[in-house]
A = this chain, B = another copy of it.
Amino acid sequence: MSHTAELIAVGTELLLGNIANTDAQMISQGLSELGINVFYHTVVGDNPDRVRQAVDIAKKRADILITTGGLGPTCDDLTKVALAQAFGRKLFYHEPSAQRIRDRFAAMGRPVTENNYQQAMIPEGATVLDNDWGTAPGVAFAADGVHVLMLPGPPRECEMMFQHRAVPYLRGLSDGVIASRTVKTFGIGESAAESVLRDLMNALHNPTLAPYAKPNGTELRITAHADTEAEALALIAPVEEQVKALMGHYVIGVDVDSLEEVCFSLLQAQGLTLGTAESCTGGLIAKLITDRPGSSAIFRGGIVSYTNAVKHHVLGVPQDLLDTYGAVSPQVAEAMARGAKQALGCDIALSSTGVAGPDPDDRGNPIGLVYLGIAWGDQCVVKALHAGTMATRERVRNQAAQHSLDLLRRHLTGLPLEES
């Protein structure tokens, strides 16, 4: 039997446009992977009557109802109250949840306020979904032929509670599985990738193949539906090989998050250490690398040289290079990479220097021009990146950091350092 879910997000801040309903996106992706259809999302404010009305409509249309938000003390826990009423359940005080709240506040060294205890009120007959990521417990119960799950609204809490609490619950309800594998590329746009893959996409039914433009590269998702995960993966495997062959050097990996992750694994496997010398990216490359646990094994350190004085004194960039060519030049990018390798004692160093905007530099270099260096052994290669004069500061910085990591990926996998 196939299931139909609806999502109801409770929160006036959504109706005021303070935030987007990213919880609905995250949960919808997860439900799609479980093979559960979603026909409607509803957003409603912190108003008991309107929450109740939304629930009354949804329970006629769906057999799985997932709410997000409205569980915190500041909204009088109105989602639990409204859902309990809609399904004719009383709320009772759940001592283990109260104890968890006490423990959590104690660990943070903060006093429990009276309204925090509202979060320990639970509909009768409900399963408590322990919240290890915040104070409001989630709740699940089945009534009137509908499975009801209530999750907290803050996006990170919601995601953890969905993945670790709701998904195991829902997995017990669904038949058949949808499995997917994602071939991640860097350096090729969505429509260019689609042109290359169009014949293959049109020929496929199960699995299907679809491109998704993501901020840091185009993803090619292959999705199959079958009785078991193993059967679904067997359907996917040959298509994955075809996609990888068609995309060539642009493929950075399969089911990988990011270039950071790929570079991290390559450095670790090859026993090499990295350092950075950043000007226009201002610490972003170091930040991306050190986002990952265990990065101290492969990352020695970085120098954010935002002024010529720091480039000269800390990185040892010769003053005459800075005077002759300016800070935004291939010569300085090379000296920065070589200097960082020396100063930080690492095997490979990455450098960036460019014009992030919003203004061109004083030598007339355009916004979006960035030189990226990579130094190893006694060698160094510098690549020019043109992010485009229309690009925002944020985009120039992100693109520069990603292309720097792609240089590193190409170096570590023996590919040509230019995209092709």
- A contact set with B: CB distance below 8 Å: 12-22, 24-32, 38-45, 47, 50, 54, 57, 72-74, 107-110, 113, 115-116, 132, 154, 189-192, 194-195, 210-213, 276, 278, 281-287, 289-291, 293, 295-296, 299-307, 309-310, 313-314, 343-345, 356-359, 386, 388-390, 393-394, 397
Contacts and interface: CB of A to CB of B under 8 A. Distances in A.
A276 B293 contact: no
A41 B42 contact: yes
Nearest 5 A-B pairs (CB), nearest first?
A282-B290, A283-B286, A17-B28, A17-B29, A283-B283
A283 B305 contact: no
A41 B28 contact: no
26 contacts: A17-B29, A20-B24, A20-B25, A21-B25, A24-B43, A40-B44, A73-B191, A74-B194, A74-B210, A74-B211, A107-B388, A107-B390, A108-B388, A110-B189, A154-B213, A278-B283, A283-B290, A283-B304, A291-B393, A295-B306, A296-B307, A300-B307, A300-B310, A301-B314, A302-B303, A310-B344
Nearest to A54: B40
B300 A306 contact: yes
A183 to B, nearest CB: 14
Contacts of A356: 293
A44 B28 CA distance: 12
A71 to B, nearest CB: 12
A5 B224 CA distance: 38
Contacts of A191: 72-74, 113, 115-116
Contacts of A13: 212
A287 B284 contact: yes
**Of A27, A39, A192, which is in contact with the most chain B CB atoms at under 10 Å from its CB?**
A39
A43 B284 CA distance: 34
A386 B109 contact: yes
A194 B115 contact: yes
Given A20-B22, A110-B189, A283-B302, 18 more contacts: A15-B39, A16-B32, A17-B32, A20-B21, A24-B43, A74-B190, A283-B283, A283-B286, A283-B290, A284-B287, A293-B357, A300-B309, A300-B310, A301-B310, A303-B314, A310-B344, A310-B345, A313-B345
Contact of A195 (B108, B113, B386): B113
Nearest to A191: B73
Contacts of A45: 39
Contact of A21 (B24, B284, B291, B314): B24
A314 B343 contact: yes
A17 B37 CA distance: 11
A29 B287 CA distance: 31
A129 to B, nearest CB: 17
Nearest to A33: B17
A195 B283 CA distance: 39
A357 B293 CA distance: 7
A38 to B, nearest CB: 5
Nearest to A212: B13
A25 B305 CA distance: 38
A16 B28 contact: yes
B301 A190 contact: no
B50 A21 contact: no
A12 to B, nearest CB: 7
A26 to B, nearest CB: 7
A29 to B, nearest CB: 3
Contact of A73 (B29, B115, B194): B194
A300 B30 CA distance: 44
Contacts of A283: 276, 278, 283-287, 290, 302, 304
A372 B194 CA distance: 49
